[in-house]
């Protein structure tokens, strides 16, 4: 699907708030068609990183490129490649699922005809056709998240950002959302960056980046992180990597 092998490149990214360094020379890349997980506890820097990647904040130094486009030099062209599901719902609760998607498509320059066709396609893909004419406030949490995912895909993005997308979902809805996103990456070649503190969601990610206090403290596949930390589960590896960082601060 993608001509480039690297969907996202981050090089020595720094962001400070006064004396606090939220991101300390973060560098990594996301390969096309792969799921990259940003795994970190609260305060790790995940939200700050997402705010920079989505153009809400500007980094103090470093470079971010999306499909080879420098976000600082060509923000509109770079951000056009993105689909985003934020931690907090951005749906209009009084509009139907279908109307929310049509409105989003219009904001991004799609014609009414094109937006309608795409909305119908994605709502069907996510099993939402039967509820597409209901106000979003009447939908379950899992359905709302699927509507948000459908909306993020309306513009056929090359790169999908998910910021704690399963927050507030029950276990069944969480499992379904995880399976849906991984299937999109596998079957459609979509590149995904998934930020979470829930280890179980991203065990099967192609790359797991463990972030803590603005530093990358671990990087690799789940098996690679187990080998690095000499433990038997990703949760234990995550705890080992972040506790090492805390012990370093204490020392």
Q: Which residue, 127, 156, 185, sits at the end of a domain?
A: 156
From 245, 23, 11, 53, select the one nearest 157 (Cα to Cα): 53
Q: What is the pLDDT of residues 104-141, one digit of tens each?
A: 999 999 999 999 999 999 999 988 999 999 999 999 98
Quick one: pLDDT at residue 1? 40
Distance of CA 80 to the CA centre of its chain: 15
Distance of CA 34 to the CA centre of its chain: 12
What is the number of structural domains in the chain?
2
Q: Provide the domain limits for residue 21.
A: 6-81+157-250
Q: Which residue, 156, 184, 205, sits at the end of a domain?
A: 156
Q: What is the pLDDT of residues 27-73, one digit of tens each?
A: 999 998 999 999 998 889 998 999 999 989 999 999 999 999 999 99
Instruction: Check: pTM over 0.75? Answer yes or no.
Output: yes
218: helix, coil or strand?
Answer: strand
Same-domain status, 61 and 164: yes
């Amino acid at each position: 699907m993608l001509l480039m092998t690297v969907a996202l490149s981050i090089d020595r990214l720094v962001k400070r708030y006064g004396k606090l360094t939220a991101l300390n020379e973060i560098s990594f890349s996301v390969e096309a068609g792969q799921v990259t997980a940003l795994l970190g506890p609260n305060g790790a820097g995940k939200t700050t990183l997402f705010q920079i990647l989505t153009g809400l904040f500007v980094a103090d130094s470093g470079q971010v490129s999306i499909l080879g486009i420098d976000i600082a030099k060509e923000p509109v062209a770079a951000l056009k490649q993105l689909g985003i599901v934020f931690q907090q719902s951005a749906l209009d609760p009084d509009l139907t699922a279908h109307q929310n998607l049509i409105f989003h498509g219009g904001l991004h320059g799609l014609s009414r005809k094109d937006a309608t066709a795409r909305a119908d396609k994605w709502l069907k893909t996510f099993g939402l056709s039967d509820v597409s004419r209901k106000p979003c406030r009447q939908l379950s949490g899992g359905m709302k998240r699927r509507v948000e995912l459908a909306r993020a895909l309306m513009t056929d993005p090359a790169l999908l950002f998910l910021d704690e997308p399963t927050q507030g979902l029950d276990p069944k809805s969480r499992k379904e959302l995880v399976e849906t996103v991984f299937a999109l990456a596998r079957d459609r070649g979509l590149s995904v960056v998934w930020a979470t503190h829930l280890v179980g969601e991203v065990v099967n990610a192609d790359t797991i980046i463990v972030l803590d206090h603005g530093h990358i403290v671990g990087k690799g596949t789940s098996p690679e992180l187990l080998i690095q930390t000499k433990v038997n589960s990703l949760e234990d590896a995550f705890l080992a990597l972040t506790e090492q960082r805390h012990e370093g601060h204490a020392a």
